[in-house]
A and B are shown apart, each in its own frame.
Chain A
Amino acid sequence: MIARVENLTVKYDDFTAVSELNLSIEEGDIYGFIGPNGAGKTTTIRVMATLLLPFAGKVTIAGMDVERYPEKVKPLVGYMPDFFGVYDNLKVWEYLDFFARVYGMEPAGIPSKINEALEITKLEGKREAYVDFLSRGMKQRLCLAKTLIHDPKLLILDEPASGLDPNARVEIRELLRTLSREGKTIFISSHILSELADICNRVGIIEVGKLVSEGTMDQITKQLQPGRLLKVRARDIEAAARFAAASRIVLSSEMKEGCLLLRIEDTDGVAERLIKTLVDSGAGILSVSEEKPGLESLFQKLTRGTVS
């Protein structure tokens, strides 16, 4: 286990931003940390990045307490804040060179490491450009390059795609996949679940400073919506609904936009039996398809949209 958050509580004077939070991140994970604005994501991340001291509980990275051994934890972590700027009057390679030296890298190995980081982030062409003249997307990639420069074990990225256009978002997602393939552990936060759903293997959902759900995407979906959801279109939708209810294998049913949504148990043969019943009913079944729950509706269901 590369990182562990145990009963973390953070207070700003009388206000509790994070309350008894527990998380664990395995090596090689892409862990999505999701929650609405103000839920406590950035506060948790700042504690992990040694920028904030916990009020109670502890955070360990590679087995080391971040509060007691910040100097040992810092080289293991690559931190990218949600809002960041760049220094004036500095070229791209000088910017990366500065961070490489600050992290205590061997001077001889720095140029090759800079080239590598620029190549991964596709900034090779901007090597000699001044950082304050880069576009927003490029600055974002540069910050990621800076985060990678000292080869950290754990990348902590606080909303890395915020404020970017759709193309740049796709690029960042691709970049994260590449890094994951190279064996990096990534802890990434976002307030948009769909943004992370297809790249994360584990997800933690936080609301009002508390973790409301944690696991793989499938586990979270099943936890919220047990069984399968079938969408039925028919000529006589009322009759189809009556027959479905009479079959006693439907857990719940609802009409939505002229279609019938039927929830059934996720066991072998149940769906086939229901379809056979409906077809035999003579309600004129046009189509039956499985409906996957919308990620946003799932997220709203979990978080209720409240903030701490």
Chain B
Amino acid sequence: MNALLKKEIRTRMRGKTIFAIENVYLVLLTGIFLIVLAISSAGRESFAWETGRSLFETVNYVQILLLVIASPTIVASAFTLEREQKTLDMLLATPLSLVQIARTKLLASLSVFFVLVLVSLPMLSVCFILGGVSPSEIFWAYFLTLEGILLAGAIGLCYSALLKRTLAAVPISSLTIIVFLIATLLIAKLLSPALGTLNPLYAFHLMTSRWTTKFFAFETPFWVPSLVLTSLLFLCVFSYTVEILNEEKRRTSSQPRALRLLFYCAMLLFLLSSTIEYGPRSADIAAGLERFVWVSYLFCVAQAIVVSGGSLSGFERKKLLSSWKEKCLRLKGWLGPGLCVGPRYSLLIAFMSVVIFSFGAFQVDMVKRRMLSILLVGCLFVTGTLTCAMLARFFSLVRRTKGNSLPRILASFCFLIVLVAPHLITYVHRRGKTEIPETAWDLSVFFSPLIALGYAVEPTRTPASYPYCAKLLGSVPFSVVTSLLYFSLLIVLWALNLRWERKIRLSTEQI
């Protein structure tokens, strides 16, 4: 056994807290078990399997809730206690890597909860004897509980690395878990049931509801997407923790790497969740695919704005003017927009192409249509992303203040206007409150990248809701026009960038 794990378990098991926790937990769970047993067998005639089923569900809901809320409270002291006892430096000076230390700390702290999970096994065995519950259901219930404990533990560990004091880390991590559980439930109900599976309570609810689960349009067991999403979030939180510990070595206040990691993870979570469908009946494949492409597009645009908005960063205006002739500075300025269709975006587009294909893979006759779809989506991505990047670069060039926030905010604002305006115009027109000619509002939808992406996913679909567009297009796909529009905009913005650069160059020469 790993020396650190052995030491951690040894010191924890010698303490009195562990026995107190185990006893309180057992008493609580037994109490709930007996109450549910009394309620289900009193009043009306019920079958034994019904009692077994309700016992199984209640005990599991309570167990998941208790353990998931309690686990970060123990884990949150993993690093803060080391700091308070002044033993962290000695531990970090050993040949153990940060990943090894963090992993062992997490497992050792959670060992208490693994014991608690085992303690409840006899109670669930009673449910099994009463009937109504299959062995696989008991297995998956435990699987979800452990998955939830690990995720909550990782969040506690993250706070333990982030905060200096145990007294702060413990309540904040517990509060975060409570907020997380409520937020994921709300997301599950209002936005995406797939993201809701990050919540072990909701995942257990899905398991007992026996809904159909589709991952990348293929029917899969319910736990596959849940495991994928939870693992992803777990890995992200864990990596973030290691990154925070690493930052201590650098002793600088900036944490861009760690924050970037969180951003990528959040986007990846959204991307993946958009490929998952849960429902009582067969889900709409096209809708899932459309949502996936939308999220990918927003991800790319956000990245483009962030990269290009900060492509001329670190240079004050004065310095920028005085050193404008330096090639590296110009290169840095142009590299921003270039990066926006660089290697990682190419990877994303490739990944997206696989998804688009997999959605249509089960229909062989659709292969040609899928190819066209990938081409159109690719064109929309490249033109849209580059346009936003060029816009952000332009704002970065013309700004008169330090910092990168303003160019990014302005570019985001412009993009939002383009995103919302066509829908707003349509809405206003349909309410019949304006005298806007039909052709004008109909044509405005060509500017909406999201509508264009919707039609790119299904290229043969005619825009029936926009009759003037349909008449104008004929057999030409809708997305072609949007791509061309954005391409024109890109050329205009490029020219603007060059013109502004020339202006700066001239003023530098005058100085």
Contacts and interface: CB of A to CB of B under 8 A. Distances in A.
Whether A associates with B in a native complex is yes
Interface of A: 10-13, 46, 49-53, 71, 74-75, 77, 79, 81, 83-90, 94, 98-99, 101-104, 143, 146
Nearest to B249: A53
The interface size bin for chain B is: 20 to 34
Nearest to A94: B10
A52 B10 contact: no
A81 B3 contact: no
B98 to A, nearest CB: 10
A87 B87 contact: yes
A215 to B, nearest CB: 29
B319 interface: no
A104 B95 contact: yes
B89 A84 contact: yes
Contact of B15 (A10, A74, A88, A143): A88
A134 to B, nearest CB: 14
Contacts of B96: 102
A89 B14 contact: yes
Given A84-B86, A85-B85, A79 B7 contact: no
Given A52-B249, A85-B87, A88-B11, 19 more contacts: A11-B251, A12-B251, A12-B252, A49-B93, A51-B89, A51-B92, A51-B249, A71-B95, A71-B97, A74-B95, A79-B89, A79-B90, A81-B89, A84-B89, A90-B7, A102-B3, A102-B4, A103-B95, A146-B90
20 contacts: A11-B251, A12-B252, A13-B253, A51-B89, A53-B250, A53-B251, A71-B97, A74-B95, A81-B86, A84-B89, A85-B84, A85-B85, A86-B85, A87-B7, A87-B11, A98-B4, A98-B7, A102-B3, A102-B94, A103-B95
A11 B14 CA distance: 42
Interface of B: 3-4, 6-7, 10-11, 14-15, 84-87, 89-90, 92-97, 249-253
Nearest to A99: B94
A88 B81 CA distance: 11
Contacts of B6: 98, 101
A131 to B, nearest CB: 10
A154 to B, nearest CB: 12
A90 B10 contact: yes
Nearest 3 CB-CB pairs, A to B? A101-B3, A85-B85, A89-B14
B4 to A, nearest CB: 6
Contacts of B249: 51-53
Given A74-B93, A94-B7, A101-B3, A85 B86 contact: yes
Contacts of A94: 7, 10
Contacts of B251: 10-13, 52-53
B93 A77 contact: yes
Nearest to A52: B249
- Between A71, A84, A143, the greatest number of chain B beta carbons within 10 A of the residue's beta carbon is seen for A84
A98 B92 contact: no
A43 to B, nearest CB: 9
Contacts of A46: 89
Contacts of B250: 53
B35 to A, nearest CB: 37
A104 B250 CA distance: 27
Contact of B87 (A12, A79, A84, A103): A84
Contacts of A89: 10-11, 14-15
Nearest to B246: A53
A52 B97 CA distance: 14
Nearest to A143: B90
A50 B7 contact: no
Contact of A79 (B14, B15, B85, B93): B93
- Between B84, B89, B96, B250, the greatest number of chain A beta carbons within 10 A of the residue's beta carbon is seen for B89
Nearest to B251: A12
B252 to A, nearest CB: 6
A81 B10 contact: no
B102 to A, nearest CB: 15
Contacts of B95: 71, 74-75, 102-104
B93 A51 contact: yes
B258 to A, nearest CB: 16
B255 to A, nearest CB: 13
A50 B7 CA distance: 23
Contact of A81 (B11, B90, B253): B90
Contacts of B89: 46, 49, 51, 79, 81, 84
